[in-house]
Amino acid sequence: MAKQKGIIPLKGTIGNITFYKSADGYLAREKGGVDGNRIANDPAFQRTRENGAEFGRAGVAGKILRTAIRTLLQATSDAKMVGRLTREMVKVLQADTVSPRGFRNVVSGELEMLEGFEFNINSKLGTTLFAPFTATVNRVTGELTVNIASFIPSNMVAAPAGSTHFKIISGGAEVNFESEESVSTISNTAELPLTNAPTAVINLTSEVTANTGLPIFLVVGIEFYQEVNGTMYSLKNNAFNALSLVRVSLD
């Protein structure tokens, strides 16, 4: 593909060249490729069909996880997050050592590989919130906890310019990738001032089904606000909010 240059960007097809807009700007590429019917039926493309099936399965798994934590994701902004998560799901699926090629799936793979995934690559949790915390999953009770000792926000939070307050959030979800269903809950602090005054001890608790046999995901994040005349406003379209997958529990 090539980037378009010129005063007027083009969209459409001229001859064998297709012009289109993407997240990376206006691009152009040459038309081509193998006939779809041949890919679907020719034995020579068996591996292509297998790869396509597994990539599609990974994409669906990513969508199921995103849906489970949709409320939290609405407070982050990363245009390439879906693609990044799909690539990680492909790695999870490829770790499946039981299913035959073309039928590998994320449940039989290694979902633990998702631990540490950042939902906003432009604002990572580890470079935004420096206060140490513990994140625990109790599968017997279904209780998911995040504990943070008292800290001084001005020292332990890398706040973007213009922000006056922040909020710590956590959320837990048990996900059934086969039925595409999930159970999730969210917990968060109030809006806390970005000052030199130490916070209280923070204990956030989320709950999923006790003794569930499903994978459990625990995410932690931080959101920034600006107070204007007593009203809190999200800062710069959530571009600086961080959200990270900190725990994946399978059994």
**% of the chain with per-residue pLDDT over 70:** 83
**Same domain for 156 and 99:** yes
Same domain membership, residue 138 and residue 26: no
What is the mean pLDDT of the segment spanning 173-187? 94
Residue 58 lies in a domain: yes
- Does some domain include residue 166? yes
Task: State the burial class of residue 80 (Cβ atoms within 10 Å of its Cβ: 0-12, 13-18, 19+).
Answer: exposed
The closest alpha carbon to 225, from 179, 196, 200, 189, belongs to 189
Half-sphere exposure of 76 (CA within 13 A, CB side): 28
* Residues contacting 108, CB < 8 A, separation 6+: 96, 97, 98, 99
Please tell me whether residues 118 and 199 are part of one structural domain. yes
The per-residue pLDDT for 165 is 96
- Give residue 227's domain range: 44-249
Shared domain for 22 and 130, answered yes or no, is no
Give the number of other CB atoms < 10 A from CB of residue 113: 17
Q: Do residues 108 and 21 both lie within one domain? A: no
Tens digit of each residue's pLDDT (9 = 90 or more) over 74-109: 888 888 999 999 999 999 999 999 999 888 999 999
pTM (predicted TM-score) = 0.83
What's the total number of domains in the chain? 2
The mean per-residue pLDDT over the stretch 20-48 comes to 62
Q: Is residue 39 part of a domain?
A: no
> Are 201 and 222 contained in the same domain?
yes
What is the H or E stretch that residue 62 is in?
Answer: helix 46-68
Q: Are 121 and 154 in the same domain?
A: yes
Cα–Cα distance between 208 and 69 in angstroms, integer? 13
- Banded model confidence at residue 2, pLDDT cuts 50, 70, 90: low
57 and 99 together in one domain: yes
Q: How confident is the model at residue 26 (pLDDT cuts 50, 70, 90)?
A: confident
Q: Is residue 204 part of a domain?
A: yes
Is the residue at 66 inside a domain?
yes
Question: Is residue 37, in this structure, part of any structural domain at all?
Answer: no
Does 173 have pLDDT greater than 90?
Answer: yes
* DSSP bridge pairs for 166: 192, 224
In the predicted model, is pLDDT for residue 53 greater than 90? Answer: no
- More reliable by pLDDT, 24 or 187: 187
Do residues 129 and 218 share a domain? Answer: yes
Same domain, 165 and 117: yes
86, 143: one domain: yes
130 shares its domain with 216: yes
Q: What is the pLDDT of residue 12?
A: 65
For residue 38, being part of any structural domain is answered with no
